[in-house]
A = this chain, B = another copy of it.
Amino acid sequence: MKTPDSSSRSNADSCAGRLKALADETRLAVVRHLMSGPCHVGEIQTALGIEQSLLSHHLRNLRDAGIVEATRDGKAVLYQLTPTMKRRRDGIVDLGCCRITFDPES
């Protein structure tokens, strides 16, 4: 069994590495979606209109970066922003190395 929580593989340690996780249209959309609260995968999927498997890969990417975390909820899985980023409010995301304040509209 690997490291049970997050940050197992990939580049979650450097600031550039964590930014890389956000530097993607899809993943950024996921994060911004989760900023309004926890969400099931299915909801995210229909919200973004993206293929199931692709979304799953992106979610793993975000998990590996320590940006989101998943918990089972019945046969669904609930995603939310990591406790590290709990300091978020009003669209502020805390990456540990830097804080990103998103403007209201994209």
The chain B residue sitting closest to A28, CB to CB, is B16
Q: Which residues of B contact A28 (CB under 8 A)?
A: 15-16, 19
- Contact A23/B20 with A99-B101, A100-B100 known, Cβ cut-off 8 Å: yes
What's the tally of chain A residues with a CB closer than 8 Å to chain B?
21
Other 6 A-B pairs with CB < 8 A, given A17-B23, A97-B106: A14-B106, A15-B102, A16-B25, A20-B23, A98-B101, A99-B100
Complex interface bits, A85-105 against B, C-beta within 8 A gives 1, otherwise 0: 000000000001111111100
B25 touching A14 by the CB < 8 A rule?
A: yes
A25 to chain B minimum Cβ distance, whole angstroms, is 5
